[in-house]
A and B are shown apart, each in its own frame.
Chain A
Amino acid sequence: MSPTEPFVFLGCLELNELLPHEAHDARELLEQLAHVPVESVFCHTSASLLHRPVLAEAYPNDFALWVGTEVRDIRLAERLAGVDAFHAGSMERVREELIATISDHLQHLGGAPARTQGKRFRFYQTHLIAVPTGHQARTLAELRDALVEVDVSALFYHTIDARYRAGRGRGDFAEWVAAHLGLPEVADRLAHIDPYAGSLERIRDRHLSILSDAMEAA
């Protein structure tokens, strides 16, 4: 994005494809994780913010949630929850960490891993279709006003997906505020919003709060 261009908000439609991969226990989860497309790892980690209900106390990725609630292996669930998909740099790195975590857990397990008590884990792949929301911003105030109105998928696209799509580890908002508005401190604060806030609406609220503070201070 050139410094002279406005910030153009994009949202995304989400299409979920059911893959033929399934798991009934941690060992099968490990085996399948090695084979599924990397987009499936994205679907069950970072993109779970798009399709999961708002639960502050829930584990932050689908793997941890399934191991915790269906297999009831809390130790492994907690360790999988600790795999940070938002700061790993790439989804292949996330896959490696998930595999290493499960492998290590299985190695130290006395016997066979527990089987699911309920639902099997079904792997999905998310297809994202980017769409302009019709909102643009040239100033901090316009950025804040647009953020109030846009579909929540725009928050996902610009703060979460941007990290993998364009390798922008700080997210699109922070990049634009730094490059176009010349506000590195505000950009830094936006970049440090924790994606583990629990929901995209909470991530929206944190952005609005930082932008409002910055406008008051200006």
Chain B
Amino acid sequence: MRPGSLLKLDDYRQIAPRGAVDILMRVGERLRGRRFVHVSASRYGGGGVEVLNRLVPIMNDLGVDTTWEITIGTADFDQVARAVSRALAGTEQVITEAMLARLGETAAENARRLRLDADLVMVHDATPLGLVEQRGSAGRWVWRCHPDISSAQPQIWSALRPIAQRYDAAVFSLARFATPLSIPRFIVYPSIDPLSERNREMTRAEQAAQMDRLQVPRDKPILLQVGPFERQHDPLGVINAYRLVKKHHDVRLVLAGPPPAPGGDVLEDVREAAGQDPDIAVIVLPPDPQTELNALERAAAIAIQKPLKADFTSEVATAMWKGKPVIGTIAGGIPFQMVVNVTGYTVETVEGAAFRIRQLLSNPELIGRMGAAGREHVRRNFLVTRHLSDYLALLAHLTR
């Protein structure tokens, strides 16, 4: 297998659904020579834009002239951008006229610096939204909004909506994340890359070595929740569900997440709740923990996602890709990645989670059956090849 950055579409032939790669290559032939520019404020910061690390080289390999431009701003601008992002996500912020002006000025400066002449310009998220104010008459412009802005702070959305409506279309990750606009709105689900470090196949020996390094024994079924140690991800609720299950089944619980943000106090609460129970592992993950998460998800018997509020949460798809049934809440994108009662269960309470975990542990054949169904569901709907198909369809549709 080639290193990640050198992967070609053909490398997905054995993984994607039958015939999917052939059809994508034919679409590439049809769109050969068209220019597609992505613009974002960062190359990192979540699966939303990080998937471009894989999509951009593949689109170029297909003959679509694709580039990925990054906007820049000063340190004080970054603070403005973060406040705007939080306000769009529904967290009340103080947004002044000066901040909005700064957003517009920075967009204008970036528009002068970047090469944005293309058949299709896709601007990702809110920070570079204002680039469209400088658009010329040629080419089509699309705003790709990754987070849930359905509950955006009214003041900020009133200011940004007229700018968003200067685009030819908007693309949201889920219908429930969208907000009314006067331009066409398309839905493109996020995806996972089956050949990434997080999802690649892993030998048992490598998996065992990773689990040893994380100090997680593999002597009993593992229940796993991957997610930040924040109240809205409800790690304490997961521990309570585990305790209900533990009365009936000898299991181990692993809670794995990144180091808490400054001011976060939930990790200490989680450690206290775990107490001296040797069967609860609270793992603060190192930076870029793709290999560790791959091993943990493969070692798990059941994946849990119990956030009270969530974005798309592609951890559901990554666990399903590894053949694991998922027990999740109905928050964010979780239920949209599952086929309820076929690849896993949706629950609303601690008791519900415990009941479904017990049900699965008491029926090991169900774990296998749901896991296999989940992997096939992800193969058809949530792989990067489907994402590529959606973006090519958008390019073909808007530039026809």
Contact = CB atoms under 8 A, between A and B. Distances in A.
Interface of A: 11, 13-18, 20, 53, 55, 118, 122, 124, 127, 129, 131-135, 149-154
Given A15-B397, A18-B187, A124-B187, A151 B17 contact: yes
B19 A154 contact: yes
B19 A151 contact: yes
Contact of A20 (B180, B342, B390): B180
Contact of A149 (B18, B389, B393, B397): B18
Interface string B174-215: 010010100011110000000000000000000000000000
B377 interface: yes
19 contacts: A11-B26, A13-B392, A15-B393, A15-B397, A17-B187, A18-B172, A18-B185, A18-B186, A53-B381, A55-B342, A118-B330, A124-B187, A127-B397, A129-B393, A134-B25, A134-B26, A150-B22, A151-B23, A152-B18
Contacts of B187: 16-18, 124
B32 to A, nearest CB: 13
The dominant DSSP class at the A interface is strand
A122 B175 contact: yes
A13 B186 contact: no
A154 B26 CA distance: 13
Contact of B30 (A14, A15, A131, A133): A131
Nearest 8 Cβ contacts at the A-B interface: A151-B19, A13-B393, A15-B393, A53-B339, A151-B23, A18-B185, A11-B23, A150-B19
B19 A152 contact: yes
A32 B392 CA distance: 30
A151 B186 contact: no
B281 interface: no
B393 A133 contact: no
Tell me which of A14, A15, A53, A150 has the highest count of chain B C-beta atoms within 10 A of its own C-beta. Answer: A15
B394 interface: yes
Contacts of A149: 18-19, 22
Contacts of B175: 18, 122, 124
B23 A131 contact: yes
B396 interface: yes
Contacts of A20: 180
B27 A13 contact: yes
Contacts of A124: 175, 187
B186 A16 contact: yes
A153 B17 CA distance: 11
Interface string B156-181: 00000000000000001001001010
B20 interface: yes
B171 to A, nearest CB: 10
A131 B83 CA distance: 44
Nearest to B28: A131
Nearest to B169: A17
Given A15-B186, A53-B339, A134-B26, A151 B18 contact: yes
Contacts of A134: 22, 25-26
A53 B342 contact: yes
A12 B22 CA distance: 12
Nearest to B182: A20
Given A13-B27, A16-B187, A17-B185, A129 B19 contact: no
B92 to A, nearest CB: 26
Nearest to A155: B19
Contacts of A14: 389, 393
A153 B26 CA distance: 14
